[in-house]
Structure 1
């Protein structure tokens, strides 16, 4: 057995990570040790243990700020944050008869209370399920139906969207909730009381999946521990002695996988997180200057805003060392223009899905950052295949196919949707990403296109099927199709092709308004074309590619 393993390792190409026998790519990153999977361990316990052993954050149990709300200037130090997590966990345990693996739905704009809830609830073995506070009532109802929460945490403004639940909805802006954070008789060991298995669900995050309507992605404590372990151990390896204290500014929402894992990662590493209640470009520039921000997770439209805006000249941005771009592909030209304007800021890309805990590949260090267009190398402890979508054959480096991923950060599945889980995760644990990619001769991954039909609006995913379903419900619309339309600022915008009913004179504005009333702002249709019929295959499938080509060429007579 050991001999077979040794032979297998010998046959992995050290440059690409490809093994010709198994047709599998292996990570070229150093192996990262993970806690034994049988050990009871929650994500908050693991993050706390890293915080305490991290030499750079020796003072992080004390007065170092962990999180700052730049909108109102409120902040919590590490010691205050840990004390409030304990107090909140104690209060939830005392006031509600929640059981381990119960789900708590969270619907709140960004605030200091959201991270406290995540850590307190997960340490009790309760599954957190945060959703977009801008979601419409029908979207929230669908999410609640999937995750089946027994309790919700919301604000006075968002609570009306949540249906009635077994233990009700706790208002985060109520005096009752605020009293939960300041209990004095708290057992210091409250965060270790629950025996949480690493295989238990930690969070249900909402994603469009690889097709169709919104899905609830079940991420385990192990998924999140594995992701954070990678960042932590690699930082120890690549660390520079004179590096300043890391101060990230979060432009990504905390309910999104990107914000969710970055928050846990920042805590484990003793960093100081700065966020604002509502993202606004100049407000962000002010925060960079005021708090000496060192790095930021961003989406490609924000990189473009940095390039195009003259406001950047008004502020001292010299503390900024790195932008990590994710959520959608970043064009080579944009990366080059950014580097011209900000030569001292490293711009790196990463790639991940909600289904891979937000991670999968990433760029590390200035040498890799100089390779524009790549999303980096396969993350530590991960394997990949490039599969021909037609033949199902696994392909070697340089060949394009669907990216399949396997490893400890791959989700448990979709909640309440066994069919979708089976379509996305095969019996050997391979996750089919729906993205067309290739590996180059040095193990760098490039994203070419999407098999899936999702529209990437800024860092959000918009499923066309959901919007088509709504359009079909309009009495004056006979048929409709929604496609991605290229947009420099947003990446893509949802565009609708609409077939009017005979006698109807419905306008573009009426179509857009009809959808806008029913969906979150990022899902709005922003362009409409009227057409005689929607092109379809003999089986009735919309020929989206024809519509995409048609929309870009602009000639309405051809269809």
Structure 2
């Protein structure tokens, strides 16, 4: 069956993203838009809009125009939105690069995205240089690296600022690509996700119906801007609504906790690892968080017990959201004030969004109340993967349904739950085992700080669940105790059969567990 949002539909927004986000900048001209928490440097809305116009003129003078791709290789900085919106104002597209990417990974994305120009920072300049050299060797193309600060041998991006108008061009918000983030989708290697101006702007309006922030709000920015969650929640949406964004270049626990209190943060957008901190770190209990009104967690599954623990400890509303890069990124969100939603649900369908739950084997819709692969249809569905029509067709079918690769279910009240990913499900003697369920149980043990579960083959070539466990500081627990802790709470076929203690669970900047790294390491593990 087709599930429809219970909320009224929103009109498609056919506006350039820079105009839509900064449309009220003049009204907020003297208000702080971005604050660098480490230096205290502040950009007001008026200064932000002026820099965007001046840099757009400078980029146009450098030959950047419609369809040209600028690669942004940077941690969170207050100049990030300047470069983003200046590029789109000039007609270009921004592809975002992880600050943690290796030169080889950067080079691969630069080549695949056909980047014309790269913007980086001095702290990352060696990786950027090595990547550009790899591009030159492999393609013969030279890509100039500009920096947001200063670095020997490189022009500063601020040196491009100039007065004057940007050359006019025709922009079709429904077709022209604003950002090109990279995602592995449901399978395979990272691919450029083409998100149009319409995708991004309309998704902001879809979320606005459920979650509101305004010029009185202060948002903490610890999620990476290069990731679509951070880009949408902390840059596009926060600036569109006139909020003040407190920018952290990276996640530092002490700086995060200090900023929550000192900067009187009203809204925090986080991934599950930060929820662990909020639930368990002793310093949290000593903070004055009376200004904090809302915490939204997304990017990876969040256990109901952990969500409840944070809500009880902080005394604020905790909600989840769901989406993926290919959805600009949101399709589900816990609505403000909707306190009757059960914990661990990801909320309701956004306005103008439809969904199906499909058996990944048969391709047929599952019965009501049963789990299935989540398919989404709506104006937030990506244009496609850049230069990969086959991958696009494998993800978005002819009727416009995006196959998420995630297993979900919906209850009788329209509350949605994400169970796990299709490719991450473990098949133990024909039974399906969801790693996320076992991980939640593992994390409920007071001696376990973090955990991940994957499927491995036993001596009889059966796939069995294996747990990778990170112990809490000073804690001690045996393999048998780990197995017994889980075994006492699950059906026999869900029991943990292998345990390995490790120092840290590999995760992406978004907070998602990098299970592939754990799987790839298996053949060499003792």
TM-score range, shorter chain: 0.7 to 0.9
Q: 1:300 aligns to what? A: 272
Partner of residue 227, structure 1? 203
Partner of 1:65: 32
* Alignment-derived partner of residue 32 in structure 1: 10
- Once the two structures are superposed, residues 372-425 of structure 1 have per-residue CA deviations (whole angstroms, 9 ceiling, x without a partner) of 011010111111111112221123531211110011101111112222111111
Q: CA deviation at 1:526?
A: 6.6
Partner of 1:399: 370
Offset of residue 300 of structure 1? 1.0
3-state SS of 1:384 partner: strand
Cα contact 2:372–2:409 (8 A) shared by 1: yes
For 2:203 and 2:215, the matched residues in 1 are separated by 23
Structure 1 CA distance for aligned equivalents of residues 44 and 263 of structure 2? 15
What secondary structure is seen at the aligned counterpart in 1 of 2:178? strand
Distance of 1:196 and 1:78 partners within structure 2? 24
Q: 1:93-121 CA deviation, whole Å, 9 max, x = no partner?
A: 11x12231111111112212211100110
Q: Which residue number in structure 2 is paired with residue 273 of structure 1?
A: 245
CA separation of 1:364 and 1:145: change in aligned 2, threshold 3 A = same
Query: Are positions 1:333 and 2:305 aligned together?
Result: yes
Q: Contact between 1:326 and 1:351, CA under 8 Å: does it hold in 2?
A: yes
- More divergent stretch after superposition (172-181 vs 410-419): 172-181
**1-structure distance, mates of 2:332, 2:147:** 38
Q: 2:78 aligns with which of 88, 109, 112?
A: 112
For structure 2, the residue ranges without an aligned partner over 5 or more in a row are: 426-434, 441-451, 455-462, 473-499
Residue 171 of structure 2 corresponds to which residue in structure 1?
196
In the alignment, which residue of structure 2 is the partner of 1:10? Answer: none
How far apart are the structure 2 equivalents of 1:530 and 1:287?
Answer: 40
In structure 2, distance between residues paired with 1:288 and 1:330:
21
SS in 2 for 1:140: helix
Check the 8 A contact 1:107/1:152 in 2, yes or no: yes
Residue aligning to 1:186: 164
Counterpart of 1:90 in structure 2 is 57
Alpha-carbon distance, 1:348 to partner:
0.4
Aligned alpha-carbon RMSD (Å): 3.5
Deviations 1:439-473 (CA, angstroms, capped at 9, x unpaired): 11111111112102499999xxx9x9xxxxxxxxx
1:169–1:111 CA distance, 2 compared to 1 (3 A):
same
The answer on whether the counterparts of 2:199 and 2:382 sit within 8 Å (CA) in structure 1 is: yes
For 1:398 and 1:441, how far apart are their aligned partners in 2?
8
Structure 1 runs of 4+ with >6 Å offset: 454-458, 481-484, 526-533
CA 1:487 to 1:122, structure 2 compared with 1: closer, same or farther past 3 Å?
A: farther
Match for residue 187 of structure 2 among 211, 221, 228: 211
Deviations 1:18-57 (A, max 9, x none): xxxxx2111111211223x5xxx311112233x36xxxxx
Deviations 1:295-351 (A, max 9, x none): 1110111111111111113332211111100011111111121122112x1100000
2:114 maps to which of 139, 145, 148:
148
Cα drift, residue 488 of structure 1:
7.4
| Residue number in structure 1 paired with 2:417 | 446
User: Deviations 1:199-224 (Å, cap 9, x if unpaired)?
Assistant: 21111101121112212111111110
User: 1:374 pairs with 345, 358, 364, which one?
Assistant: 345
- Cα gap change, 1:421 to 1:487, in 2 (>3 Å): farther
Contact 1:102 1:127 in 2 (8 A): yes
Asked if the contact 1:231/1:265 (under 8 Å) is kept, the reply is no
Match of residue 48, structure 1, among 22, 28, 32: 22
Contact 1:84 1:181 in 2 (8 A): no
Could you say if the C-alpha distance between residues 195 and 486 of structure 1 is closer, same or farther in structure 2, counting changes exceeding 3 Å?
A: farther
8 Å contact kept, 1:289–1:316: yes
Q: CA deviation at 1:483?
A: 8.9
CA distance in 2: counterparts of 1:417 and 1:441, whole angstroms: 38
Q: Is the CA contact (8 Å cut-off) linking 2:322 and 2:346 kept in structure 1?
A: yes
Q: CA 1:217 to 1:484, structure 2 compared with 1: closer, same or farther past 3 Å?
A: farther
Indicate if the aligned counterparts of 2:58 and 2:161 stay in contact, CA closer than 8 A.
no
Distance 1:113 1:365, change over 3 A: closer
Q: Secondary structure at the match of 2:413?
A: coil
Paired residues of 2:37 and 2:247 also in contact (CA < 8 A) = yes
Q: Which moved more, 1:277-286 or 1:247-256?
A: 277-286
Gaps of 5+ in 1: 1-22, 53-57, 465-480, 491-507, 534-555
- In structure 1, which of residues 411, 426, 433 is the aligned counterpart of residue 397 of structure 2? 426
Number of residue pairs the alignment of both structures matches? 449
Give the conservation status (yes or no) of the 8 Å contact 1:375–1:444.
yes
Cα displacement string for residues 122-173 of structure 1 (whole angstroms, at most 9, x for unaligned residues): 1222010011011012211221232111111112333213324555222222
Q: Is the 8 A contact 1:363 1:369 kept in 2?
A: no
Report the TM-score when normalising by structure 1.
0.73
Q: Aligned in 2, Cα 1:530/1:73: closer, same or farther, shift over 3 Å?
A: closer
Comparing 327-336 and 446-455, the one that deviates more: 446-455
Structure 1 residue aligned with 2:129, among 160, 165, 178?
Answer: 160
